[in-house]
Amino acid sequence: MQDLIDEQLLAFAKSQEQLGRALDAESAVVRRMAALLRKVPVEDLKRVKGDPYTEAELSVAREIAGYVNALADLEEALADFVKHAIKELRVAEEE
């Protein structure tokens, strides 16, 4: 039983590591978009018809919201797994 729990923990750790890499990449994209947005001079934006600054801000906000949602999903997955692991450990202790 302990081997099964150890195997599950290793698989979970590997999947969380991969999810962490994806979140890190998404974070890099958000930081880069925000940095690019700050570099655009206001005078250049005034020459463009419409409201490109607002569109760029909305794009960055959407990316940030996606990143935060992914973090929330990660937290939920961690909580579910820890709850499952604790149940398995209690069952193993009772045996």
95 neighbors 5 (Cβ within 8 angstroms): no
Q: What pTM does this model have?
A: 0.53
Q: How far apart are CA 66 and CA 60, in angstroms?
A: 10
CA distance linking residue 65 with residue 75, whole number of Å? 15
Please, which contacts does 31-39 make with residues 24 or more away whose CB atoms are closer than 8 Å? 33/59, 33/60, 33/63, 34/60
Per-residue pLDDT tens listing for the chain (95 residues):
678 777 877 887 788 788 878 888 888 887 887 777 777 776 766 666 666 667 777 787 888 888 888 888 888 888 888 887 777 777 777 76
